[in-house]
Amino acid sequence: GIFTNMSGAISSKLRPGALVVIDDHMNFMGSNPLVGTTANDPDQMFPDMGEAYSSRLRQLMDQAAGVIGESISHGI
């Protein structure tokens, strides 16, 4: 999906309104949300997070930015 973020950025290279593709995220919860007995099948209990952020959609964002002549950054 596509969403907007109105929080600040750590990078001083980013200007307000900059386009940023999110490549990954950091878990600051203090615990793993996948811990527990939520399923009898371990494959359901621990989903594959290797493509949590679709590489295909991230590439499309890069291409779309190029088409409209906008620079785009990648971040976590």
Local confidence pLDDT in tens for the 76 residues of the chain: 666 666 666 778 888 888 888 888 887 877 777 776 666 776 666 777 788 899 999 999 999 999 999 999 998 8
Residues in the chain: 76
Report the distance separating Cα 48 and Cα 22, nearest Å.
Answer: 18
Residues 6+ apart with CB under 8 A from 68: none
pTM over 0.85? The answer is no
Residues 6+ apart with CB under 8 A from 27: 33
* Cβ–Cβ < 8 Å for 73, 20: yes
